[in-house]
Amino acid sequence: MTEVGDTVATLKGIPTKADLKFQLEQNVVVVDFTKLNGDKRVMTCTLREDMKPRATKTDTMSQKAVREISDAVVSVWDVNAKGWRSFRYDRINAVNIVEEYEQSWYNSVDTDT
């Protein structure tokens, strides 16, 4: 991301695009954004391997190369709608990690047994 992009992310209080991608790959996040038609939308989404469906030839959005065609668009797995959705990075208003889905919770091992 450019220095201008980093500054804009800081001013808006959102992660940079690279940081957002990392957060999505490790967590479930709630993204508040404004659709192109002006409607506000809040989506609970992720890119975690253990939560999104495996890539298939018939579902092109499941293929990483297809999801990354546009640098302006972020494609994610909507955990509530159980489908691929996308939004424009420049339309994000807020991003919050959903605590109960944190990666560390899934990877924790009970050592007391």
The per-residue pLDDT for range 9-65, each reduced to its tens digit, is 888 899 999 999 999 999 999 999 999 999 999 999 999 999 988 766 665 554 455
100 compared with 104, residue with greater pLDDT:
100
CA–CA distance, 78 with 29 (Å, rounded to integer): 10
Rounded to an integer, the average pLDDT of 100-113 is 52
The structural domains of the chain, with segments of one domain joined by +, span 3-99
SS3 content of the chain, % helix, strand, coil (to 5): 35, 30, 40
46 compared with 68, residue with greater pLDDT:
46
pLDDT band at 108 (very low <50, low <70, confident <90, very high): very low
CA–CA distance, 26 with 48 (Å, rounded to integer): 6
